[in-house]
Amino acid sequence: MTEAAWIEAALSGARPQAMGALLRYFRNLDTAEEAFQEACLRALKSWPRNGPPRDPAAWLIMVGRNAGIDAARRVSRQQALPDDEAAVSDLEDAESDLADRLDGSHYRDDLLRLLFTCCHPDLPATQQIALALRIVCGLSVREIARAFLVSEAAMEQRITRAKGRIARAGLPFETPNAADRAARVGAVAAMIYLVFNEGYSARAAQAGAHNDLCHEAIRLGRLLLRLFPTEPELMGLLSLMLLQHARAAARFDAKGEVVLLEAQDRGLWNAQAIGEGLALLDKAMRHVRSGPYQVQAAIAALHARATAPDDTDWAQIERLYATLERMEPSPVITLNRAVAVSKTAGPEAALAVVEPLSGPLANYFHFHGLRGGLLAQLGRSREAAEAFGRAIALAGTPAEAAHIRQHLDRLALTGQNCTD
Partner 1 sequence: MLYALLCYNHEDVVCGWSEAEDAAVMEKLAAVQDGLRAERKLGPVARLMPTSSAMTLRKDQEPPIIVDGPFAETKEALLGFYILDCVDADEALEIAKRLGEANPGGSYELRPVRMFQPNSAAAG
Residue numbers of the site for partner 1 (CB under 8 A)? 1, 3, 5-6, 9-10, 12-14, 16-17, 52, 55-57, 104, 211, 215, 219, 222-223, 225-226, 229-230, 235, 238, 275-276, 279-280, 283, 286
Distance in angstroms (rounded) separating the CA atoms of residues 205 and 183: 31
CB 92 within 8 A of CB 63: no
Min CB(47)–partner 1 separation in Å: 11
Query: Which residue's CB is nearer to partner 1, number 54 or number 74?
Result: 54
**Phi, psi torsion values for 88, nearest 5 degrees:** -65, -45
In the complex, the smallest distance separating the C-beta of residue 265 from partner 1, rounded to whole angstroms, is 17
Closest C-alpha to 365, from 390, 398, 337: 390
Contact 242, 271 (CB under 8 A): no
283 CB neighbour count, 10 Å cutoff: 15
Q: Least distance (Å) from partner 1 to the CB of residue 140?
A: 16
Q: Which is nearer to partner 1, 224 or 374 (CB)?
A: 224
Q: Can you tell me the distance from the alpha carbon of 197 to that of 174, in angstroms, rounded to the nearest whole number?
A: 31
Residue 349 CB, shortest distance to partner 1, in Å, is: 39
CA dist 74 and 84 (Å) reads 13
- Cβ-based nearer residue to partner 1, 16 or 64: 16
Residue from 170, 161, 101 nearest 130 by CA: 161
Which CB sits closer to partner 1, 223 or 341? 223
What DSSP designation does 393 have? H
Query: Are 212 and 168 in contact, with CB atoms under 8 Å apart?
Result: no
> How far apart are alpha carbons 118 and 343 in whole angstroms?
42
- Least Å from the CB of residue 271 to partner 1: 9
- Of the pair 5, 308, the CB lying nearest partner 1 is at 5
CB of 209 or CB of 225, closer to partner 1: 225
The CA distance from 64 to 19, in Å, is 9
In angstroms, give the least distance from the CB of 220 to partner 1. Answer: 11
